[in-house]
Amino acid sequence: MEKTQQAVRPIYYADGSCYMLDQRLLPVEERWHAYRDYREIAEAIKTMVVRGAPAIGVAAAYGAAFAAAELAQQAPADFEERFAASCTELGATRPTAVNLFWALERMQRCAARMDSKATPAQIATRLLEEAQSIAREDEAINRALGAHGQRLLPQRATVLTHCNAGALATAGYGTALGVIRAAVAAGKKIDVIADETRPFLQGARLTAWELQHDHIPVTLICDNMAGYMLQQGRIDAIIVGADRVAANGDTANKIGTYPLAVLAQAHKVPFYIAAPVSTIDYTIPDGTHIPIEERDSAEVTTCGGQRIAPEGIQVYNPSFDVTPAHLISAIITEHGVVGGDYLQELAPFKEG
């Protein structure tokens, strides 16, 4: 009998540690690291052991909980200030994905809401529960998002996705790939085209791996092949995740998303963003306010650890681009699918 297959999940908490699958080593090796120190979690976010906007949020939440636990042991007078400083440190790891800041703010709000007589130890205990809630909720959100989004896909469809907005980018199930999983669960015949997503190759390494794991048909292409497939009429829809959605619907996502949106429009193919409401940044009116992270040139000059460009070559390596709202056919959230006037349509989802 075949062994029951475990769902893909990149991060979980057990016995005082946060465990993370080292996504830099996939698909060649499945190595897990255990973290107990928030500084190590910050480093893991920075170096992309864990990546994907929602998963980064979950990791940061555990980081904040661990920072609180460490401070609780020392029981300093300035617990609050030092906890805030640790959250700032966790937030300084990656600038673009807003879920990171959303999760840290939620953790800080959770601490602030506690009884003024609560001890640091009690706060730390409560924060660990909160981090676990964030993780649990994230998967539930993705399942709700998937259920809404899958209705957009026809009975048979070839769907292109970029980067990895899958189980590996979240606490589980995925956003863009959650929509695909939900469509498959609904009995639809979905073929996935996965962009390899240079330079970090999240498509080749992660999306291909997790879809293969779930027996969902997937074909890998290089990023620059999507245009030709669209031209040939071989793509029915494009679905990607998001790192930050502005109040007007402008969306930052992995570099290479914007050209896909332009091509989708040129070929009249729907272009969907799948993102939990925690990805919406209501504080910024439009995409011009989203900071775009630039990463190390070595990501471009090497591939699979091999040097692929001359020594001393100048490199530009922006990690994200911004797709203007008018190129987005719909944004799929856990509360439903919205489109058209995003400023008005997204407003009711604002939390707090």
Instruction: Select 130 or 250, whichever has its Cβ closest to a second copy.
Output: 250
Radius of gyration of the chain (CA): 20
Catalytic residue among 195, 243, 250, 321: 243
Rounded Cα gap, residues 260 and 318, in angstroms:
16
Q: What angle do CA 143, 271, 252 make, to 5 degrees?
A: 80
Q: Indicate the residue type of 151.
A: R
Has 243 been annotated as catalytic? yes
Residue 12 buriedness (CB in 10 A; 0-12 / 13-18 / 19+): middle
In angstroms, the CA 135 to CA 235 distance is 33
Q: Name which of 94 and 148 has its Cβ closer to a second copy.
A: 94
Question: At its nearest, how many Å lie between a second copy and the CB of residue 348?
Answer: 30
Task: Map residue 316 onto helix, strand or coil.
Answer: coil
For a second copy, which is the closer residue by CB, 175 or 197?
Answer: 197
Q: Point out which residues bind a second copy (CB under 8 A).
A: 27-28, 193, 195-199, 201, 204-205, 208-209, 212, 217-229, 231, 255-256, 258-259, 262-263, 266, 300-318, 321-322
3-state SS, residue 45: helix
Nearer to a second copy, 167 or 204 (CB): 204
Minimum distance from CB of 78 to a second copy (Å)? 43
Type of residue numbered 254: K
Minimum distance from residue 169 beta carbon to a second copy (Å): 17
155 vs 224, beta carbon nearer a second copy? 224
CA dist., res. 251 & res. 288, Å (int): 10
Kindly report the number of other CB atoms within 10 A of residue 184's CB atom. Answer: 20
Closest separation between CB of residue 272 and a second copy, Å? 18
Q: How does DSSP assign 74-88, residue by residue? A: H--TTHHHHHHHHHH
For residue 215 the two structure tokens come to 């027996």
- From the CB of 138, what's the least distance to a second copy, in Å? 25
8 A C-beta contact, residue 220 and residue 209: no
List residues with catalytic annotation.
243
